Amino acid sequence: MADLAVDAQASGRIGVVIVGAGSGTRLGGVDKAFMQLERRPLLGHAVDAFESVDEVDEIVLVVGSHRIADAWELASTSDWRKVVAVVAGGDTRQRSVFSGISALGNCDLIAIHDAARPLVTAEIVRNGIASARAHGAAVAAIPVRDTLKRSRGEQALVESTVDRTDLWAAQTPQVFRSSVLSEAYQLIGDRASEYTDDAGVVEAAGLPVAIFPGSVGNLKVTHPDDLPVATALLRARGSGHAPCAQEREVPSLRIGTGYDIHRLETGRKFILGGVAIPHMTGFVGHSDGDVLAHAVIDALLGAAGLGDIGSHFPPHDETFRGADSMELLRKAVGLVVASGLRPLRVDATVICERPKLAGDIPEMRRRLASTLGVGVEAVNIKAKTNEGLDAVGEGRAVAVHALATLH
Would you tell me which residues interact with Mg ion (CB under 5 A)? Answer: 260, 294
Closer CB to Mg ion, 258 or 395, in the complex: 258
The residue type of 294 is: H
Closer CB to Mg ion, 197 or 260, in the complex: 260
Q: Which residues pair with 176 in a beta bridge?
A: 110, 137
Contacts of 101 (CB under 8 A, 6+ apart): 15, 17, 60, 110, 178, 181
Nearest approach, Cβ of residue 289 and Mg ion (Å):
7
Nearest approach, Cβ of residue 260 and Mg ion (Å):
4
Phi and psi (nearest 5°) for 333? Answer: -60, -40
Nearest approach, Cβ of residue 13 and Mg ion (Å):
44
Our CA angle for 136, 140, 145, nearest 5°, is 140
Distance of CA 232 to the CA centre of its chain: 29
Query: DSSP label at 170?
Result: E
Distance CA 174, CA 171 (A): 8
Closer CB to Mg ion, 47 or 297, in the complex: 297
Nearest approach, Cβ of residue 337 and Mg ion (Å):
22
Closer CB to Mg ion, 374 or 400, in the complex: 400
Query: Which residue of this chain has its Cβ atom nearest to Mg ion in the complex?
Result: 294
Nearest approach, Cβ of residue 291 and Mg ion (Å):
6
Closer CB to Mg ion, 183 or 298, in the complex: 298
Nearest to 178 by CA among 108, 94, 255, 244: 108
Nearest approach, Cβ of residue 325 and Mg ion (Å):
8
Closer CB to Mg ion, 44 or 289, in the complex: 289
Give me the helix-helix angle, 68-76 and 42-51, nearest 10°: 50
Closer CB to Mg ion, 31 or 260, in the complex: 260
The radius of gyration computed from the CA coordinates of the chain, to the nearest angstrom, equals: 26
Q: Where are the beta strands (DSSP E) in 273-359?
A: 275-276, 281-283, 343-351
Closer CB to Mg ion, 50 or 270, in the complex: 270
Distance CA 257, CA 293 (A): 13
Closer CB to Mg ion, 138 or 291, in the complex: 291
Strands 137-143 and 168-177: antiparallel
User: Cβ distance 349 to 273 under 8 Å?
Assistant: no
Closer CB to Mg ion, 80 or 259, in the complex: 259
Nearest approach, Cβ of residue 331 and Mg ion (Å):
15
Nearest approach, Cβ of residue 258 and Mg ion (Å):
10
Nearest to 198 by CA among 223, 171, 220, 218: 171
Closer CB to Mg ion, 251 or 314, in the complex: 314
Nearest approach, Cβ of residue 308 and Mg ion (Å):
10
Nearest approach, Cβ of residue 385 and Mg ion (Å):
21
Give me the helix-helix angle, 325-338 and 361-372, nearest 10°: 40
Q: Where are the beta strands (DSSP E) in 304-396?
A: 343-351, 379-384
Nearest approach, Cβ of residue 261 and Mg ion (Å):
8
User: Cβ distance 406 to 336 under 8 Å?
Assistant: yes
Write the burial class of residue 324 (CB in 10 Å: 0-12 exposed, 13-18 middle, 19+ buried). Answer: middle
